[in-house]
Amino acid sequence: MNSATEEHHHKDYIKLYNLGGGAAKKITREVLWGNDKVIQKKYVNILPSKEGYMLPINKNVYEELERTIENNGYEADLNVRMTYYHNVSRKQQEVILKGQIDRFNTYNNKEIYDLQFI
């Protein structure tokens, strides 16, 4: 996730790469709080295999990440559920990933974190 502020510019998004080896289409991505409360839902028709997709995050997702960091937590109560259709098999696939935050060293007096969904 890239979440940075540069004077007047804000960058709050998650970047998805190469979902389904380029064969995924009709992709629905839901950010869940816990196991079932949907706090953001986005739809993408297709992700080309060599390109990424910048997925904006909403206020609820951002606030949950801030709460986790403020409480020195490393496991966010966020899950990502992605459903998509495989272009070849035409079967629907579902993947559920758990949010985990890793803290890195301070750089120019700014805290740096890495958000992974595993």
Residues 14-35 have a mean pLDDT of 77
Q: Are 100 and 80 in contact (CB under 8 A)?
A: no
Residues 61-66 have a mean pLDDT of 83
pTM of this prediction? 0.70
Q: How high is the mean pLDDT of the chain?
A: 76
Q: Are 113 and 104 in contact (CB under 8 A)?
A: yes
What local confidence, expressed as pLDDT, does residue 37 receive?
92
- Amino acid at site 23: A
Predicted confidence (pLDDT) at residue 54 exceeds the cutoff of 50 = yes
Report helix, strand or coil for 68.
helix
- For residue 63, with 0-12 CB atoms within 10 Å meaning exposed, 13-18 middle and 19 or more buried, which class applies? exposed
Q: What is the CA radius of gyration of the chain?
A: 15
